[in-house]
Amino acid sequence: MPEARLLLARYVVPVRPRGVVLEDHAVLMEGGKITSILPANEAVVRHPDATPERFDHHVLLPGLINMHTHSPMSLLRGYADDLALETWLRDHIWPAEQRWLSPEFVADGTRLAVAEMIRCGTTCFNDMYFFPDVTASVVEEVGLRACIGLPIIEFPTAWARDFEAYIAKALQVHDALRGCALVSTALAPHAAYTVTDDMLARVAELSATLELPVHIHLLEIAWEARHSLQEYGMGPLQRLLDVGLLNERLIAVHMAHLQDEDIRLLAESGVNVVHCPESNLKLASGFCRVADLLAAGVNVALGTDGAASNNDLDLLAELRTAALLAKGVAADPCALSAGEALELVTINAAQALGLGETLGSIEVGKQADLCAVDLDRPQSQPVHHVISQLVYAATSAQVSDVWVGGRRLLEGGALTALDLPQVIERAECWRQRMVG
């Protein structure tokens, strides 16, 4: 029988119901799940056999979920900065990938990304990159949780030579990971401008048959809509609608160029939108209308994008940027409150992955994916409002402990399942190889 652990925290933010803060409460973890949430004094009496751990200055909250990453691209952090998206991709990133992409590159880059994400309180991430089997292997090795995108793009790479090869490999990886406790899969066509209509139609068919999410970059830059009109006589959203992809399984990333009618269509179709504010700002891609999407009933989550365009995977920093930017875009200081913002990286993200019943909030019966944030720091004192301090003041350096399925992956700020010096050494080896 797995050991029961009792986490006694100064504050517990369960996320559901919205805005609730439980003071001096405890969370009981047994068998990888949350089995009780109750006042700390009562918990000690009722569960004397559970191992108690005290977090006297901390807030305990659900593990954060990063809804858009390219984890191996951590090795390209800072490789090509201060460029427009098209130039960045076509003249720098894609050529670098053609030269360096390999299982070794993906394994080392994923370990670097995973180390960073855990230290930032992330317990689950939604990835899109080549050699997804390698990324999945690292995730399982470390004990993190992830949805692994099965990449599809119209040009050949080191992963697959053509569309049929991409599909065959996607199905192979999906079958190999079926039933895995920590890793799920999604079909991941790169973008509407790098995938043909026939390819999109095949993706839609497979998504419906296998009940798989579809993870795609969409409406990231203004050029994308113009290109679609020139090539197909319609916008990207209409193309996806025509092939049957606009539904609750679609995870549409960026969405920085939306018209009012687009928002209505997304709401009617049940599409999930992933906002990546820092990447969009850095590449001057545009602004996602987060407040308008939420008001229309669209499920919105948050992602960092890859470290090559952000340049970090710090979801707490991304959360603050998202909250502030939403107010600026809406010209309304009341837009996207702290409580609403926290949902973007917890329950909304879980729902986008189809995992709202098991992740995204601290509730009895859900997986014990948790993180503890130490508020006993100058930048987060005094604590007038716990959730506001988390969203507007706390930094990832205050994340002290992280659990996934009850297993501790970060203890007192130290990684438990990764050799950090070795991870950094491998990253430096890649830097030297690339500049050499």
> What's the CATH number where 302 sits?
3.20.20.140
Residue 421 placed within a domain: no
The half-sphere exposure of 16 on its side-chain side, counting CA atoms within 13 A, is 17
Which of the four pLDDT bands, split at 50, 70 and 90, describes residue 86?
confident
Same domain, 234 and 282: yes
Burial of residue 170, with CB atoms counted within 10 A of its CB: 0-12 exposed, 13-18 middle, 19 or more buried: buried
79 alpha-carbon distance from chain centroid:
22
- Domain for residue 411, yes or no? no
Question: Can you tell me whether residue 253 is helix, strand or coil?
Answer: strand
Residue written as tokens 């365009």? 309
Tell me what the mean pLDDT of segment 412-427 comes to: 98
Q: Cα 116 to the chain's mean position, in Å?
A: 13
pLDDT in tens, 276-320: 999 999 999 999 999 999 999 999 999 999 999 999 999 999 999
Per-residue confidence (pLDDT) for residue 69, from 0 to 100: 98
**75 is a domain residue:** yes
Q: For residue 2, name the pLDDT band (cuts at 50, 70, 90).
A: low
Q: Which residue has the tokens 């192979």?
A: 172
* CA dist., res. 402 & res. 410, Å (int): 5
Q: Is the pLDDT of residue 167 over 80?
A: yes
Q: DSSP assignment, residue 89?
A: I
- Does residue 422 lie within any of the structural domains? no
Identify whether 227 is part of a domain: yes
Question: What is the pLDDT, as a whole number, of residue 435?
Answer: 86
Within-domain flag for 420: no
Domain of residue 57 covers 5-62+369-405
Give domain status of residue 433, yes or no.
no
pLDDT of residue 3: 84
Residue 427 covered by a domain: no
pLDDT of residue 85: 86
Q: Is there a contact between 290 and 336 (Cβ–Cβ < 8 Å)?
A: yes
- CA-closest candidate to residue 362, choices 353, 372, 376: 372
Peptide bond into 39 cis (omega under 30): no
Residue found under tokens 């720091």: 377
Do 386 and 293 fall within a single domain? Answer: no
Residue 409 · residue 403 · CB < 8 Å: yes
Contact present, 410 and 115 (Cβ < 8 Å): no
Please check whether residues 304 and 377 belong to one and the same domain. Answer: no
In angstroms, rounded to a whole number, what is the distance separating the alpha carbons of residues 157 and 130?
8
Place of tokens 């409406």: 219
Are 51 and 182 part of one and the same domain?
no
Separation CA 185–CA 150 (nearest Å):
7
Is-contact 222 211, C-beta < 8 A? Answer: no
Count the domains in the chain: 2
171 and 296 assigned to the same domain:
yes
Can you tell me the mean pLDDT for 357-363? Answer: 98
Pick from 315, 275, 307, 301: nearest CA to 121: 315
**Is the pLDDT confidence value at 110 over 70?**
yes
Residues 45 and 150 in one domain: no
DSSP 38: E
Mean pLDDT for 158-186 is: 97
Helices (H), 307-366: 315-330, 338-344, 347-352
Average pLDDT across the chain, whole number:
97
pLDDT per residue as tens digits for the range 319-343: 999 999 999 999 999 999 999 999 9
Direct distance between the N- and C-terminal alpha carbons of the chain, in angstroms, rounded to an integer? 53
Say whether both 116 and 31 belong to one domain: no
- Beta strands (DSSP E) in 321-411 are 370-374, 399-404, 407-411
Please name the amino acid found at residue 369: D
> What single letter denotes the amino acid at residue 337?
S
Backbone phi, psi, residue 61, to 5°? -140, 170
The residue among 434, 375, 436 whose CA lies nearest residue 99 is 434
Whether residue 278 is found in the same domain as residue 327: yes
On whether both 216 and 95 belong to a single domain, the answer is yes
Q: Is 57 in the same domain as 77? A: no
Half-sphere exposure of 82 (CA within 13 A, CB side): 0
- Residues 6+ away with beta carbon under 8 Å from 88: 80, 283, 309
Residue 436 has pLDDT above 90, yes or no: no
Contact 371, 24 (CB under 8 A): no
Q: Region 88-108: what's the mean pLDDT?
A: 94
Question: Quick check: helix, strand or coil at residue 432?
Answer: helix
In 3-state terms, what secondary structure has residue 15? coil
Q: In the block, which residue shows the tokens 């830059």?
A: 221
Pair 31, 102 in one domain: no
**Residue 311: φ, ψ to 5°:** -120, 30
Instruction: Tell me the C-alpha distance between 283 and 289, whole Å.
Output: 17
Domain with residue 379: its CATH number is 2.30.40.10
Residues 44 and 76 in one domain: no
Structure token pair of residue 296:
């229309």
CA-closest candidate to residue 289, choices 264, 323, 255, 315: 255
Give the pLDDT confidence of 242-277 residue by residue, as tens digits.
999 999 999 999 999 999 999 999 999 999 999 999
Largest alpha-carbon pair distance within the chain? 69
What 137-142 contacts at long range (C-beta under 8 Å, 24+ apart), as own/partner pairs, is 137/107, 138/107, 138/110, 138/111, 138/114, 139/110, 139/114, 139/182, 139/183, 140/180, 140/182, 140/183, 141/417, 142/111, 142/114, 142/118, 142/409, 142/417, 142/418
Average pLDDT over residues 115-124: 98
